[in-house]
Amino acid sequence: MGPFYCPDDGKVYLDISFFDDLVTQLGAQGGPFAQGYVIAHEYGHHVQDELGLLQDQSTGTGAHSQSVRIELQADCLAGVWAKHAADTAYIDPPSAADIAQALDAAAAVGDDRVQQETQGRVAPERWTHGSSSQRQHWFSSGYQTGDLDACDTSGAL
């Protein structure tokens, strides 16, 4: 099972073998910042939970579903984290290669990419997390602005 956030106990659950799967099964290049993106995404769900933004999480699937909007917002919050973690010297400022790792990982876990790899076709009506390009876009929005207000995915298409 992939990493997930559990609202009932406010914890992130992560089998670190997922980081191997990310490379061997999902085709990501991997690396520390790819892993950082994955963890920050899950903590993004905790932030959403704290802000009351996790309601209606399970409202359907599909490219325009609430599920996708919530997942893309967590990607954006992962970017916000990266920006502030660097600005506050919690982590070394990420290099262009580091950010590329995160964006590569975001693309690798995009619904269209995963569906194409596992089923040989893309079915947007079953998306739950958004496309590769959407996931990259929202991580970038968060990272470039560091601003929660940039993470309004309610109109994300």
Q: How far apart are the C-alpha atoms of 74 and 42, rounded to whole Å?
A: 7
Q: Which residue, 92 or 127, has its beta carbon nearer to Zn ion?
A: 127
For residue 152, is it left (φ>0), alpha (ψ between -120 and 50) or beta?
A: beta
Using an 8 Å Cβ cutoff, are 148 and 139 in contact?
no
Q: Which residue, 60 or 93, has its beta carbon nearer to Zn ion?
A: 60
Choose among 101, 69, 68, 65: nearest CA to 82. Answer: 101
Q: Which residue, 3 or 146, has its beta carbon nearer to Zn ion?
A: 3
Strands 11-13, 4-6: parallel, antiparallel or unpaired by DSSP? antiparallel
For residue 146, is it left (φ>0), alpha (ψ between -120 and 50) or beta?
A: left
Q: Which residue, 71 or 112, has its beta carbon nearer to Zn ion?
A: 71
**Smallest gap from residue 129 Cβ to Zn ion (A):** 6
Which is it for the CA torsion 135, 127, 24, 7, positive or negative?
A: positive
**Smallest gap from residue 75 Cβ to Zn ion (A):** 8
**Smallest gap from residue 92 Cβ to Zn ion (A):** 26
**Smallest gap from residue 71 Cβ to Zn ion (A):** 5
Number of residues engaging Zn ion in binding (CB under 5 A): 2
**Residue 5's beta-bridge partner residues?**
12
Binders of Zn ion in range 54-113 (CB under 5 A): 71, 74
**Smallest gap from residue 3 Cβ to Zn ion (A):** 8
Q: Which residue, 1 or 88, has its beta carbon nearer to Zn ion?
A: 1
Residues lying near Zn ion in the complex (CB under 5 A) are found at: 71, 74
